Structure formats: structure tokens, C-alpha cells
Amino acid sequence: MLFADQGAQPMMGRLLAHLLICDPPHQSSADLAEALQASAGSISTLTRQLLAMGMIQKAVVPGSRATFFRLTPGMWVDLMRQRNGSLRAVREAADRGLRALAHRPTEQLDRLREFRDFYLFLEGEMPRLLDAWLARRQETPR
């Protein structure tokens, strides 16, 4: 449901959720289809998308010819770094809007300025948050 709220397919969220908790941590397409009660075609489509996004990777299982998938270690940080590029793009669009509308009264620009400032804040803070997370991960034994 969280993925659907963000515009992604709900099944993508279910697949990632399964890979977060499954044992073993690598699953074949057949394993995923069975666990999620999904078609082979759906699993194939989703795994291709998630591979392209870098969220999952193929895993080799000695003695098996099946293709296995697992979450990409550290992908959450990589995903958020990519999202920071999206934050920058939104902020840059707001900057262009402010320049284009500079002749308007200040009151009319206040909402756009607040929007831009919020994204500028997020864009600046995200790298620090990710660095702090990585430092915590190194300090905290698993």
C-alpha cells in the first residue's frame, strides 16, 4: 500500500517486503511467485524493474540453474542519494518559477518561495543524514 501511495505497483512493495524478511535471503522467481501468489509474468516484470533501479540483484546459488534475487546491500542509501537528485530538480524548477514571476507582488510569491526553501532545506540536509546513517552503521555491531 505504501508503494501504491507513491505511484508504484502494490505488488512491487509486496515483493520488496518479502525480500526483507524471507529465509533464505535469496529467492527464485518461482519462490517469489508462490509466496506472493503472483503470476510468473508479474514477477518477471517486477524483478526487471527492480534490477534496473538497483534495488535488487541476482544471486548465484551453487548447484541451481534458476535465477535468484536478493535485496542489494546498501541500496537504501543509494536510493535516497538518487532521490536527492529529484529534490534538487524540484528546487531548481521552483527557482525558475521565482525568476519568471519576479515582477509579481511578494505576497503572491510567498507560497512558491516557501516551497522552494523547503526543498532547498531537504536537498542540503539529505547528504548529512545519509553520512550520519553510514557512520552509525559502521559503529553499531550487527
State the pLDDT at residue 140.
79
**Could you give the CA distance from residue 122 to residue 84 in angstroms, rounded to a whole number?**
8
For 130-142, how does the pLDDT look when each residue is reduced to its tens digit (9 = 90+)? Answer: 999 999 988 877 6
Contact at 8 Å (CB) between 101 and 94?
no
Task: Report H helices in 22-74.
Answer: 29-36, 40-53
Confidence of residue 117 (pLDDT cuts 50, 70, 90): very high
Please give the Cα distance from 13 to 9 (Å, whole number). Answer: 7
For residues 4-30, give the mean pLDDT.
87
Please report the domains of the chain, with CATH numbers, ordered by start residue. Answer: 2-71 (1.10.10.10), 75-139 (1.10.287.160)
Name every residue whose Cβ is closer than 8 Å to that of residue 120 and which is 6 or more positions away in sequence.
91
116, exposed or middle or buried, with CB in 10 Å at 0-12, 13-18, 19+?
Answer: buried
Q: Is 9 left (phi over 0), alpha (psi -120 to 50) or beta?
A: beta
Confidence at residue 47, expressed as pLDDT on a 0 to 100 scale = 96
